[in-house]
């Protein structure tokens, strides 16, 4: 082994043996996927890590206190486009290099999140998970009225954020005969089959299904709020696979309860770092109601996408520490 540094790896690598071996050939590696916050803190205190390849969805926040436990850190890399699990401002203040997939060319070769968003949309429109659960309880067509859905063909789909995921979702949805409307103030959409709206209000009033595909930042924090829901069509389907904090979740719950939103599908919620996530208001609601699907932030979880993402994060650490 040729060691050029000591790195902590809290991202999952058990299903990537070749990449794991390549890492061990380059660095002294401490693989700690599944370690809880106290275990990770102890590792940071007891080792002089040069780099940290973090999990994209840890159960803790990589904050100032945690970073200060390991003064030797030079780079932290996350195999995700999102970085809200890290205090990026403090890391930059400490002159610790931060790497994420956002803006990296590899991201255009990753399709898992786009495919999952499309899958979640279909599942929500057609009530698929609840129909499957009903069968496990001994039911069959006797409960069919609970699961009657809509055809995608002919529905108006509104996509908020037409970046990589939004663009892929448009392509998939057009193939199913949906009418695609999109809002993104940062780009000009050139695809002739997509109608670009000048405002969110226009999108809200013209769509049957709304999908949020934006990055979380200061301008998108709770961009979908009570005023937004008021402007949507009655009986709209709402999907979010971006980040939980782009939604005012209290308003989302209120509109699920009063029927303004026919059904919602979420792969993300606020407070994902909470130790008591099972008591999150949305999860409590989902236990008792069949118009909300929540999945545990798994949009990017495929063998192919994770290998591409984690190799990119590893390469960033290698290039930075060996330059």
- Verify whether residue 306 is a known catalytic residue: no
CA distances to 95, 132, 312 from 306, rounded to whole Å, are 27, 28, 10
Query: Which residue is catalytic, options 243, 249, 262, 280?
Result: 243
- Those residues whose C-beta lies under 8 Å from the C-beta of residue 111, and which sit 6 or more positions away, are 168, 305
Distance of CA 167 to the CA centre of its chain: 16
Q: Which helix (H) or strand (E) holds 304?
A: helix 303-321
> Nearest to residue 119, comparing CAs of 313, 298, 256, 244?
298
Query: Which residue is catalytic, options 85, 262, 280, 297?
Result: 297
- Verify whether residue 24 is a known catalytic residue: no
Neighbours of 194 (CB within 10 A): 20
CA distances to 67, 89, 174, 244, 304 from 64, rounded to whole Å, are 5, 10, 45, 22, 33
φ, ψ of residue 162 to 5 degrees: the values are -115, 50
Query: Which residue is catalytic, options 85, 249, 262, 272?
Result: 272
Dist CA 130 CA 128 (whole Å): 6
φ, ψ of residue 319 to 5 degrees: the values are -65, -35
* 3-state class (DSSP) for residue 173: helix
- Verify whether residue 162 is a known catalytic residue: no
Dist CA 183 CA 197 (whole Å): 5
What secondary structure letter does DSSP report for 234?
A: T
**Catalytic positions, written as ranges:** 243, 272, 297
């Amino acid at each position: 082994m040729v060691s050029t540094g000591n790195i902590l790896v809290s991202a999952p690598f058990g299903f990537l043996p070749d990449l794991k071996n390549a890492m061990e050939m380059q660095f002294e590696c401490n693989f700690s996927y599944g370690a809880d916050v106290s275990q990770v803190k102890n590792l940071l205190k007891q080792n002089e890590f040069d780099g940290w390849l973090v999990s994209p969805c840890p159960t803790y926040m990589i904050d100032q206190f945690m970073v200060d436990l390991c003064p030797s850190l030079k780079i932290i890399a996350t195999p995700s486009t999102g970085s809200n699990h890290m205090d990026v401002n403090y890391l930059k203040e400490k002159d610790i290099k931060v790497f994420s997939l956002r803006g990296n060319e590899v991201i255009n070769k990753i399709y898992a999140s786009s495919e999952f968003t499309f899958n979640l949309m279909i599942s929500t429109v057609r009530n698929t998970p609840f129909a499957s659960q009903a069968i496990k309880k001994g039911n069959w067509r006797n409960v069919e009225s609970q699961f009657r859905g809509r055809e995608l063909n002919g529905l108006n789909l509104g996509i908020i954020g037409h970046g990589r995921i939004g663009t892929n979702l448009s392509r998939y949805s057009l193939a199913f005969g949906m009418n695609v409307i999109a809002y993104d103030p940062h780009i000009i959409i050139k695809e002739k089959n997509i109608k670009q709206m000048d405002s969110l209000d226009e999108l809200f009033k013209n769509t049957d299904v709304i999908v949020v595909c934006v990055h979380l930042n200061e301008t998108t924090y709770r961009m979908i709020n009570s005023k937004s829901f008021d402007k949507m069509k009655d009986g709209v389907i709402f999907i979010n696979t971006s980040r939980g904090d782009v939604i005012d979740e209290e308003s989302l719950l209120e509109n699920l309860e009063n029927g303004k939103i026919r059904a919602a599908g979420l792969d993300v919620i606020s407070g994902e770092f909470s130790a008591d996530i099972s008591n999150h208001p949305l999860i409590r609601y989902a236990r008792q109601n069949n118009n909300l699907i929540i999945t545990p932030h798994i949009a990017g979880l495929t063998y192919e996408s994770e290998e591409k993402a984690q190799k990119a994060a590893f390469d960033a650490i290698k290039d930075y520490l060996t330059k």
